[in-house]
């Protein structure tokens, strides 16, 4: 299984992995290193999405991508909520390297309003939620349109989550597959 590093200059994205900082729902860093990785097929779809966003004056901020199985267990042990976290016994698309969490940013690097923060475990985070401002609904629709036009599938309960279709055809991966471990 080949994982591709998602970083400049090959990828015109801002990488800001939430789980490498304490600014996530656990309140502490889960990753010791903020390296961003995706399966080669997913990396190709991200490149396509980047090209689609560019004419709109938009870029992506990547909030999470490959999440080692060890990290999925850490998140699940903190908050075992199957609506927003995959049970690590079944495996997350993130732990297969085939999912990305992201948002849109403008040319100045400001995130577009999506109505809720990343990892807000609430029905307001669902695609199609009408309980958010109209501008945020438009921004979510734009993100959804760009990502689905690039070939991604979405998860209806998280506006930020996109994955390959049929993610379970890929194996769950440990931190040990990386050239430099993310988990410490």
How would DSSP label each residue in 43-84? HHHHHHHHHHHGGGT-EEEEEE----HHHHHHHHHH---TTT
Q: Pairing relation of β-strands 13-15 and 59-64?
A: parallel
Q: Is residue 182 part of a domain?
A: no
Residues classed as catalytic: 158
Q: Is residue 180 part of a domain?
A: no
- If one counts the domains in the chain, the total is 1
Q: Is residue 126 part of a domain?
A: yes
Q: Which domain holds residue 138?
A: 3-169
Between CA 165 and CA 1 the distance in angstroms is 17
Predicted model pTM: 0.97
Exposed / middle / buried, residue 134 (Cβ in 10 Å: 0-12, 13-18, 19+): exposed
- pLDDT at res. 184: 79
- pLDDT at res. 1: 61
Q: Is residue 75 part of a domain?
A: yes
Divide the 184 residues of the chain into consecutive groups of 10 and give the mean pLDDT of each group. 91 98 96 97 98 98 98 97 94 98 97 97 96 98 98 98 97 95 90
Between CA 84 and CA 112 the distance in angstroms is 22
Q: Is residue 78 part of a domain?
A: yes
**CATH number, position 48:** 3.30.1380.10
Between CA 158 and CA 127 the distance in angstroms is 6
Q: Is residue 184 part of a domain?
A: no
């Amino acid at each position: 299984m080949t994982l591709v590093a998602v970083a400049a200059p090959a990828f015109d994205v801002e990488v800001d992995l939430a789980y490498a900082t304490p600014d996530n729902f656990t309140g502490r860093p889960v990753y010791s290193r903020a390296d961003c990785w995706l399966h080669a097929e997913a990396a190709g779809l991200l490149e396509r999405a980047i090209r689609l966003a560019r004419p709109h004056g938009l870029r992506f901020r990547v909030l999470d991508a490959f999440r080692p199985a060890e990290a999925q267990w850490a998140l699940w042990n903190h908050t075992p909520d199957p609506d927003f976290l995959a049970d690590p016994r079944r495996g997350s698309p993130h732990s297969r390297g085939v999912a990305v969490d992201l948002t849109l940013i403008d040319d100045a690097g400001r995130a577009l309003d999506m109505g809720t923060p990343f990892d807000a475990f609430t029905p307001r985070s669902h695609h199609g939620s009408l309980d958010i401002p109209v501008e945020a609904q438009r921004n979510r629709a734009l993100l959804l349109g760009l990502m689905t036009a690039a070939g991604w599938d979405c998860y209806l309960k998280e506006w930020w989550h996109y994955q390959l279709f049929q993610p379970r055809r890929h194996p769950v991966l440990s931190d040990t597959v990386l050239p430099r471990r993310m988990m410490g």
